[in-house]
Structures are given as structure tokens and as C-alpha cells.
Amino acid sequence: MTQASVLSQQTLVLNRAWLAISTTTVRDALGLIFSGAAKAIRPETYETHTFESWADLAVPPEEPCVRTVTLRIRVPEVIVLTRFEKMPNRTVAFSRRNLYRRDRYTCQYCGATPGGGELSIDHVVPRSRGGRSTFENCVLACTACNHRKANRTPREAGMRLRQAPRAPKWTPILQVGVARVRQSWEQFISERYWEVPLEP
């Protein structure tokens, strides 16, 4: 693995209360540790380290590392900020995956759970009539219900929603694709929202 690829890998960032708030590159994580704005965490022991004590740790031969002229430095997979303790003010991104997650892969008209391939996104107020692509106007619908509703509102189609569509609340949980999550992060992250843009 090249140094450039090692430095561009992701490091989990915790706030001072040890809640996951974001990710950053290994390069930026080392900069935060060096400046004293963060400490590196050994996930297996929860020990925190300054730059000096982190650089003193031995690096197992099979692990990727950051090389300098005189040092081999372990890749910090998790860091904790030394000053920032607030949670960022965020909302859940309106995306296809987040909508499927909110509606639990369930048709919001009949309650069927046919699988992702048989579900589609229905605009409660059709787009042709000014309906927008938002959490408050989009629900999952099975193929049969989607055909039945067609280009009408639920009331016009004689159909009822199982629940009013709402934007899910953002929780202090990292937003990251599951394929990018390191095993060492799992003890700090209980759940994830994915960021997949929804087609207009």
C-alpha cells in the first residue's frame, strides 16, 4: 500500500464525550493529534495518546503505517477531540436508502414487504401537481399500490397511508457507507445512515 493511499484512508472522529461525529483522512487526523487538538485512541484498550506517545508505539509488521525519515507511525483509526464536545447540528440527508430505511422496506399503503426490487418511491402529492421530493411527500409503495394510486393523491385514489411521512430525526451517529466502516469503529458506532443521492 502506497503512502498516499494510507494517508487518504478514513479515521473516525469522536467528540470530547466520545460520540462519533465525523470521519477525516489519516493525514488530517495526524495533524490534529500533532497540534494537540485530538488524541489517538487504541480501540482495543481505549487508551488515549498524544503524538509523542503514539509515535512511540510499535507497529506490527503486517499493519500499514505512515513512514517518515526516522519513524514508522501506526495509522490512527479512531481519534478523540480534546476540546469539541457539542454535536453538529445536522439533518438526515434525503436519499433513497434513508427513505427505504425510514419506511422499513414496507409499502406505506398496504403494509406489504415484498423486497426492495418490488418497492418504489411514491410522491404523495404527484410531482406533476407540484409535489416535491422530500421526506414529508415521499413514501414507499409496492407495485400494486403504486399502479392503483397512479397520478392521484391518496384521498382521490381511496387509499390511506399507514402513517404520515416525516423526516427522520438525526441521531448522534456517524453517517458513513457500511463498506467503509473499519472493524475498530464498531464499538463506537451503533447504527448508520447512508448518503445516497435520490434521483430527481
> What is the pTM assigned to this prediction?
0.53
The pLDDT value given to residue 179: 46
Res 163: pLDDT:
93
Identify the pLDDT of residue 85: 59
Taking only the tens place, the pLDDT of each residue in 132-191 is 999 999 999 999 999 999 999 999 999 999 999 998 876 544 455 544 667 788 777 754
Q: What is the pLDDT of residue 171?
A: 52
Q: Tell me: the pLDDT tens digits for 84-104? A: 756 555 667 788 888 998 998
Whole-number Å distance between alpha carbons of 198 and 127: 14
At 170 the pLDDT is: 60
Question: For residue range 35-70, what is the model confidence (pLDDT) as tens digits?
Answer: 999 999 998 899 999 999 999 998 888 888 898 888
| Dihedral sign (CA 158, 126, 145, 136) | negative
Domain boundaries, the chain: 3-88, 96-157
Burial degree of 76 (CB within 10 A; 0-12, 13-18, 19+): buried
**Fold of the CATH domain 96-157:** DNA Binding (I), subunit A (1.10.30)
CA 35 to centroid of chain Cα atoms: 27
pLDDT of residue 23: 85
Give the model's pLDDT for residue 199. 39
Q: Residue 100 belongs to what H/E stretch?
A: helix 96-102
Residue 122 has pLDDT above 50, yes or no: yes
Region 66-86 average pLDDT: 87
